[in-house]
Structure 1
Amino acid sequence: MLDAVQLRTLAAVVAEGSFDAAARLLHVTPSAVSQRIKTLEETVGQVLVQRHRPCRPTGAGEPLLRLAGQLALLEREALAEARGPLTGRGRIRLAVVVNADSLGTWFPAALARVPERLDLSFDIRQDDQDHTAELLRDGSVTAAVTAQREPVQGCRVQRLGSMRYLALATPAYAERWFPDGVTPAATAEAPAMVFDRKDRSQHRFLRMVTGRELDPPVHYLPSVPAFSEAIRRGLGWGLVPEQIAGADLAAGHCVDLAPGRYLDVPLYWQHWRLESTVLTALTDAVRAVAAEALR
């Protein structure tokens, strides 16, 4: 049998990033933390923690980290239910990872739609939609908005819809760099806005439109508001969610570089396979808002 205290200690080491920080969180000595992890590893017969900064779970540690999170969620949920309608104590915290564009558009409305009576605290992480499932896999989060349709082990997956992106630039930028449209020659030279080094959306769009693998000069700008503002200022062209692009097009701040061409990114909701009231409520809210906001 696995020891609940040892599992909780494993979760603390990964969440805090070190044995010393986990000890402070758990109000024990670092040697006690080390002994608990060592005993758990001996029970399993595998190394569970990569001992560097920050500490990360090994492949063998990931399912145990996920189990620790699931047990903690069910324990807090049962305790909250047993205490009755008393609020202000024992809030249930849900860790969720979401891509930046969803955070900047439709996802906050989903959080607001979760019933207040559930007394939840949200721990929202941000990552590229092609990478959010990695945090589910290692047990760091309970749920994810992800581009991965295959369920992570121990998780359920549901399609949310597609986020549509339009290629925008200012009229002056389009006239300077794309006088003949989105041609391979123009797109190879025109600076593009890219969110971060995980973001390959602009490159996928260029491959779709031109049929070629192109490597244009890029500006990295990891902020949804700043990304759109930089395009409005003529710093580069970039793909913008249609929920944001509509206002810029209507006001004449930007033009669509490739009318009728767009990039649709399918999004999925993955979450732990648990019979949990709070997780079900969050899932219902996310699906409802996604049905209104996504294609």
Structure 2
Amino acid sequence: MRLLFCIIILSFTFGCVSTKKLAPKLDIPAKPLLTKEVYQLSYSTELDSARIKSVQLPAHPIKKNNTVRIVTDKVSMTDTLKAQLIQSLNTKGLKIVTSSKADYVLTVHQLDLEFGSDKIYTLNQPKKPHPFFTRLAQQVPSYQCANIIASVSMRLTHQASSDVVWFAKSSIDSASFQGIPLQLNYTQSQSISNEHAVISFIVKHNTEAARQARFNNPITIPSYDVKTSVSQPTKIAGACTETEVSALSSAMQTSLTNLLIEKINLQ
């Protein structure tokens, strides 16, 4: 009995002596608070009002409910624009007919679209400048945008006498037609570039062999490496590319057409 008791004591003592001493497991460090900021910047260019020339001769007074026949064989006019022209004349108080016995003939002589010199949009100073603005003002102080010019001209002829009683012309460029700044959003955000490396370090040094090796040998966990990046700009307002300004063509021609019809004086 005494022999058995001694064996048990010796076994317990041997087990305690042979137990490996391990360092505590490492915890994954808390991530730093990452920021994300969106900056909206605007670029402006010189704008001009639509250029309009309108001349009306008094020989044949144009009266409300006079009939008008529209001739567009000299230009390529869309059905949509022609419908808008008819609506403008109706609103003015004139009646549209197809008969050759109309009181007046409205001939559309010009309906042109052409690219002009590019427009330079310069960066606008915000009310409260910030470091990001200062940096961008040096890197991208301006934008060069495509510019399209629309021109419309027409004349009104007295049918019976063939006298021209009114002629007018108007034009405008796409930048002035828009009349708004070029607005861009930039996103500045932070990210951790070495997160995988930090986690791999923790896993590597939490194995039993590693914990035994670093017992009484403290190690330093790598710090997170935070990087700041700026996204490519996202345009939120304003047409700049050739495709974008070309898309304004129909609206530009419609606007010019309406402006010209408004210039006709009725008695």
* TM superposition score normalised by structure 2: 0.18
Structure with the largest fraction of helix: 1
Relative contact order higher in (CA < 8 Å, ≥ 6 apart):
2
* TM superposition score normalised by structure 1: 0.16
